[in-house]
Amino acid sequence: MANAAKKSKFRVRPILWTNYIFILLLLSTHLTMALSPGIFWPLSILSLGFPFIALINGFFVVFWLVFLKRYFLYSLLMLIMSYSLIFSHFQISWNSEKTAESNSITLLSFNTHNLSNSNYNKGDKVIRSEILNFSKKQKADIICYQEFQNYPTRGVNTVHDFQRGLGLKYVQTVPYLNKNTHEFVDLFVMYSRYPIKNSQSFYKNGKSFGFYCDLDIEGKMVRIFNLHLESNHFSKSDYDVFDENDLRMDEQKRNQFLLLIYKIKKYSILRSYQAEIISEEIEKSPYPVIVTGDFNDTPASYTYNKISDDLDDAFIDEGAGYGNTYNGNLPPMRIDYSLFSESFEILEHKILKPNVSDHFPIRTRFSL
């Protein structure tokens, strides 16, 4: 009898220690929100893995309950402590859809992936046409595009083509590079039904990570930020590390994995600097602000929390389901956002699913 008890305890112990490891990882993700990657970058990896870490802790709650072990309380308490993080990734819609208001405004934010859904096939006319037609159907009053492209050497002015197609009178463009030597021009673009009174762009090392425009919306000034913070610059070979059909860890794959970690380190630190600049600009704004775009970081990151401080997240207020906005080769994650000053009322927020980019566009309806 004693021997059976000892064997049972021996079998439970490694499972329990595995549980402790995931509890510690979940606890550590809380540090990622407050601690800059410039101080301790490895936490950035945890911010990417938060949904998986939370899910494993949920599994342990169920596992220990099935075997009637009090250990379930450990993961359960950590999940309760993490409720705000969980609901920044996943939302249950309790409210019925709010009725349309005659004075409501619709904002669309969309990383268009070079208008070709591929970095290797510039100027795909079919994809370009699909993105324009999709955007027209949204009937948005303000549209913020990231990774937009113009093709002056081919006599194609996509900025003007989209403006005519969308029927929006005002437009502001900002090139990604101060000095461009390519046949195509990467752009941020904002189209607006409302007059643009002022704008400012943000550059670091000759590359832009966003801009803002001051819009006169029926006599009220609003400052809208259109952002695309630094990506991790994963190449096709980087994605091969996640290939489910090849789990071998040979020297080539090990080196590729180390390169991937280096990229996460380098670019998470750069994004933290960009986020701090944007946070200062938000604080200085004399007008209510809207911040939208591709942050390339999850809600568990320092970047998101630095920018979203004192702002309302449209997905948390009016979203539903898992907030995945990424349509690429990595696991689903929420990296595109629309954030609002508290003076705005958020009426609706949807993640739309056209398969024309490596990001899903987000549409938000709000009122002043």
Task: Specify the CATH number for the domain of residue 181.
Answer: 3.60.10.10
Q: What is the mean pLDDT of residues 352-363?
A: 96
115: Cβ–Cβ under 8 A, 6 or more apart, which residues? 123, 124, 127, 128, 131, 147, 148, 149, 158
Residue 125 binned pLDDT confidence (cut-offs 50, 70, 90): confident
d(C-alpha 161, C-alpha 182), whole Å: 21
Position 331 scores a pLDDT of 83
Whether the Cβ atoms of residue 191 and residue 132 lie closer than 8 Å to each other: no
Residues 201 and 311 in one domain: yes
Residues 63 and 178 in one domain: no
- 143 in any annotated domain: yes
User: Which has the minimum average pLDDT: 123-127, 268-272, 289-293?
Assistant: 123-127
d(C-alpha 218, C-alpha 195), whole Å: 9
Domain count within the chain: 2
Q: What is the mean pLDDT of residues 16-20?
A: 95
Residues 193 and 72 in one domain: no
Residues 218 and 180 in one domain: yes
Residue 181 binned pLDDT confidence (cut-offs 50, 70, 90): low
User: Which has the minimum average pLDDT: 170-184, 249-263, 314-328?
Assistant: 249-263
Please report, for residues 98, 174, 240, 343, the alpha-carbon distance to residue 189 in angstroms, rounded to integers and kept in the order given. Answer: 29, 7, 32, 25
Q: What is the mean pLDDT of residues 146-159?
A: 85
Q: How does DSSP assign 300-322, residue by residue?
A: TSHHHHHHHTTSEEHHHHH--EE
- 93 in any annotated domain: no
Residues 237 and 360 in one domain: yes
d(C-alpha 194, C-alpha 95), whole Å: 30
Position 78 scores a pLDDT of 96
Do strands 289-294 and 220-228 pair parallel, antiparallel, or not at all (unpaired)?
parallel
| Residues 224-252: tens digit of each pLDDT | 999 999 998 887 666 666 655 555 666 77
Q: What is the mean pLDDT of residues 133-140?
A: 97
- Structure token pair of residue 39: 């101080």
- 3-class DSSP string for 134-177: HHHHHCCCEEEEEEEEEEHHHCECHHHHHHHHHCCCEEEEEECE
d(C-alpha 94, C-alpha 79), whole Å: 21
Residues 56 and 189 in one domain: no
- 326 in any annotated domain: yes
User: Which structural domain range is residue 74 located in?
Assistant: 2-81
| Residues 273-314: tens digit of each pLDDT | 999 999 999 999 999 999 999 999 999 999 999 999 999 999
Residues 77 and 109 in one domain: no
- 74 in any annotated domain: yes
Amino acid at 140: A
Residue 8 binned pLDDT confidence (cut-offs 50, 70, 90): low
Residues 9 and 64 in one domain: yes
Q: What is the mean pLDDT of residues 27-31?
A: 93
The average confidence (pLDDT) of the chain is: 90
- 94 in any annotated domain: no
Residue 202 burial (CB count, 10 A)? 17
- 144 in any annotated domain: yes
